[in-house]
Structure 1
Amino acid sequence: MKKIGLLSFPRYYNYGTFLQLYAMETTIEKLGYACEIIDYDRDNNNESTKKPVDSSYLDLIKKMLSIRQLSTLKSRLDNRIFERKMRKLSQERTSLYDLFLSNHFKLGSVRYSQYKELEQTPPQCDAFVVGSDQVWHPLGHFKDPSYFLKFAPKDQRIAYAPSLGVSEIPEQARDWMKEQILDIPFLSVREMEGATEIKALTGRTAKVVLDPTLLLDIKEWDGISVVSDVISKPYLLCYILESDSYIRELAQEIASSLNLTIVVLPVNKHDVMDTNPDVIKAYNTGPAEFVGLFKNASFVCTDSFHGTVFSIIYNCPFFTFKRHNNPTQAALHSRMNTILNITGLTDRVLYKGKDLPVNATTVDFSYANKQIAIEKEKSLLFLSESLNSASS
């Protein structure tokens, strides 16, 4: 059996990152190949035993400590309490990520921490896939050729659904990224905006394919999901990465109209510090528990790409919110556009000043399911043909 090396972020403890990697690994195996996840962890450098934690927590802590220098004693104390809660929460969730990694990821035997190690002793595989997730973010991975598979023979390189994470590549990264992308013979991306930008940059046409999570069906996701035994009532799930108050207010309005309990997956300061006794906090949530939360939700409010995707997978009525408290993140909402346009669900986007649509709490997923099936077939065909050619 031919073996495929898969490069993404196997030690980046984030829900979407882990679930897309699991889906990519599973899909490659379903196509008849062995799959080895390349254990590339450049942030570790093999020097520290400190476990990584969900990036959203670290980013929030950094913001609180370095950007929002609080001037009053009350706010300083509030910040310290938040930091302690986040550290404890991160430790608890890290153990669930560790368990998921151990149970589901087939990591290679060598752990790499820098490109030169991959170049000197590359994994022994018949072809290589990079993706999905924001592996081509020009700010996060600029000048790291690992994520463009430079360590592999050129004719064995496949890009499946990498995301640029931005709508426009910064000027200082354009020449370097152009050189990298031109050396990948089997080229696809996750977003239409990314394909447009690559076309302008290189003259090449990158095929737009589905995020790997959409390549698995509901039964396959059910098979790894872990359902909470502490949530007994029908609920509205809030998975909000930014602390925009208007999202929370609308979620409360929708939950009240549908007689639903609110369950929050806390990842931002407001949700971590909130003491509302009527809100259930899903603290102990790893990747498998994340799937379980969406599986059983009656409604979802989210500003997350994979929160949107899993709502669609489970045909759960949802709203996707544009972020406003973080202007940079608000500008990056383009990553949602492709999947919402494909599924005909652009009316599920809400933002400040937009009225709730008619029949706001019901969604007809029939067209979305049909379109996902069509795009899934196209995406699998691209991947299958690419693997066959690259491994020959």
Structure 2
Amino acid sequence: MEKKIGIITFHRAHNFGAMLQAFALQQFLSINNEAEILDYRSKCIENYYYSPLRLKSMIKSVILGRDSISKLSLKIRRKKTFEKFQQKYLVCSQPYSSNNISEASKNYDLFITGSDQVWNASMVQDDLNYFLKFVNPENRFSYAASFGNNSILTYPAKEEMTELISTIKIPLIRENDGVEILKKLNATNYARAKVVCDPVFLLTKCEWEEKLGLKKKSSDYIFAFFVNDPIHSLDIAKSLHEKTGLSVKYCHSYGTEKNIPDWCEKLMDIGPRKFMETLNSAKYVVTTSFHGMALSIRLGKQFYYELNKNGTNSRLNTLAEIFDLHDREITDSNIPTCSEIDYQKVNEVLEKYSSYSKAVLLSSLEGIDYE
């Protein structure tokens, strides 16, 4: 029987991974159900991405010397490309805020929180709507929810967060570390928790190409994509550039233009679709991003990844462990010594991983604990 499903996630973040995973989960759920993304205007997202671009804030930022006119212009262009993607590709509900989101509970049969770091306490802070507080307990579900780090273990509201998570019959989480965090929280359902794939793996390479209308272009370049400032990754991109003669296209998830070398082509105001097209056509990918790594695997790219210096690496380590790709890790300024990725082997693992995750998700929505 078709269900109407409401998804709460970070769909308004001007972040490629956040928006693309939201798109992928909605697309998969819409095969046999009606799925909408709740157009939830959370303070954590609005304050980070939207408040700085209000006219008063921009004028103040220029006066205080925090931003230049050109930098603000870039931020505005990026905002428009993400909003355009959201309007064209995401099916969203009416806007909700923390003041009226309880009204959504009567419009859907069930709700899913995830994917992304919806249980990262340092990020969502006291917004318990990402823990589905506004939903009747029997209608609470999760998919590939991530804690991001251990901040929930010491957060003042951890008891209430734990109680809400415990009402989810079968918590579906994204990282191996998440199970340990549930155990440390004494969540009553931690033994039933299952690790599932990020939503970007729920769509095949062909489905990504078809649904977004990606044009296949020549692969005569290296795509350097960073979500954190790289330590050694840029050196690796340069070494590949010098070794292969391929050009380098540079993109930062947050539009940061700091210290970009002249030998890179800047792609700083592209949206999610153009990002996918660029990644899909690249010969090599060098990244510090979880979704940069995940989508490289999904699209069959030869890639190298660097862990983040801030220590939030459980997401990348989980992928490396599942696909046995630890040899792609960048640890210094030398290109990792490894053979090309055997995608016949990787795709066999990916097929099992995604098929299992799909089965677990669909079973959980029926209240069945898939084994």
- TM > 0.5 between the two? yes
The one-letter amino acid of 1:338's match is: T
How far the C-alpha of 1:148 sits from its partner, in A, is: 1.4
How many angstroms does 1:175 deviate by? 2.1
Contact 2:228 2:289 in 1 (8 A): no
The equivalent residue for 2:321 is: 341
Secondary structure of 1:86's counterpart equals helix
Q: CA deviation at 1:167?
A: 4.2
State the shift of 1:3 in Å. 0.7
Match of 2:359 in 1: 381
After TM superposition, give the deviation of residue 307 of structure 1 in Å: 0.4
Q: What secondary structure, in the 3-state scheme, does the structure 2 residue paired with 1:389 have?
A: coil
What percentage of aligned pairs have identical amino acids? 26
CA change 1:82–1:345 in 2 (3 A) is: farther
Using the alignment, how far apart are the partners of 2:284 and 2:257 within structure 1?
Answer: 18
Matched, 1:258 2:241: no
Match of 2:291 among 291, 297, 306: 306
Structure 2 runs not aligned, ≥5 long: none
Offset at 1:186?
Answer: 2.8
Structure 1 residues 381 and 223, CA gap change in structure 2 (3 angstroms): same
Q: Deviations over 1:362-388 (max 9, x none)?
A: 222222211111111111111111223
Pick closer, same or farther for the CA change 1:243–1:273 going to 2, 3 Å.
same
Match of 1:369 among 336, 339, 347: 347
Q: Does residue 1:118 correspond to 2:101, yes or no?
A: yes
Cα 1:52–1:81 shift into 2, 3 Å: closer
What is the CA–CA distance in structure 2 between the aligned matches of 1:386 and 1:158, rounded to whole Å?
A: 8
CA gap 1:352/1:275 in 2 versus in 1, 3 angstroms? closer
TM-score (norm 2): 0.87
**Superposition CA RMSD, Å:** 3.2
CA 1:81–1:297: 2 relative to 1, 3 Å: farther
Residue pair 2:223, 2:278 contacting (<8 A) in 1 also: yes
User: In structure 2, what is the Cα distance between the partners aligned to 1:181 and 1:301?
Assistant: 36
How many residues are paired up? Answer: 359
CA distance in 2, matches of 1:221, 1:126: 28
Task: Give the secondary structure class of the aligned counterpart of 1:199.
Answer: helix
What's the counterpart of residue 91 of structure 1?
76
Equivalent residue, structure 1, for 2:181: 197
- Tell me the CA shift for residue 83 of structure 1: 4.0
Deviation readout 1:54-96 (Å, 9 max, x if unpaired): 99x9xxx99xx8xxxxxxxxxx99x959643332222112221
Residue 71 of structure 1 is matched in structure 2 by none
Secondary structure, counterpart of 2:346 in structure 1 = helix
Is residue 3 of structure 1 aligned with residue 13 of structure 2?
A: no
Mapped to 2, the partners of 1:54 and 1:23 lie a distance apart of 27
Query: Counterparts of 1:275 and 1:4 in 2: how far apart (Å)?
Result: 46
Match of 1:350, SS state, is coil
Aligned counterpart, 2:34: 34
**Cα deviations by residue, 1:210-251 (Å, 9 ceiling, x for unpaired):** 00000100111112446689x866000001223335221121
What's the CA shift for 1:334? 1.6
What SS does the aligned partner of 1:122 have?
helix
Q: 1:142 to 1:183 in 2, by over 3 A?
A: farther
Unpaired runs of 5+ in structure 1? 66-75
Distance 1:376 1:24 in 2: 12
CA distance in 2, matches of 1:269, 1:27: 29
Change (3 A) 1:189 1:245: closer
1:248 aligns with 2:267: no
Counterpart of 1:358?
A: 337
Kept after mapping to 2: 8 A contact 1:13/1:54: no
Residue deviations 1:286-320, cap 9 Å, x none? 01111111100000110000000111111111111
Q: Is the 8 A contact 1:233 1:261 kept in 2?
A: no
Cα deviation, 1:155-192, whole Å, max 9, x if unaligned, reads: 11111011001046332343232212111123110000
Cα distance in structure 2, aligned partners of 1:291 and 1:165: 24
> For residues 176-191 of structure 1, what are the structure 2 equivalents within 5 Å?
176-191=160-175
Distance in 2 between residues matched to 1:81 and 1:52, nearest whole Å: 16
Given that 2:330 and 2:336 are in contact with CA atoms closer than 8 Å, whether structure 1 keeps it comes out as: no
Q: CA deviation at 1:323?
A: 2.9
In 2, Cα distance between equivalents of 1:376 and 1:323 = 26
The Cα shift of 1:359 comes to 3.8
User: Given the superposition, is the C-alpha separation of residues 292 and 121 from structure 1 closer, same or farther in structure 2, using an over 3 Å criterion?
Assistant: closer
User: In structure 2, what is the equivalent of residue 217 of structure 1?
Assistant: 204
Cα contact 2:15–2:254 (8 A) shared by 1: no
Give the letter aligned to residue 241 of structure 1: V
Quote the Cα distance in structure 1 between the aligned partners of 2:330 and 2:261. Answer: 26
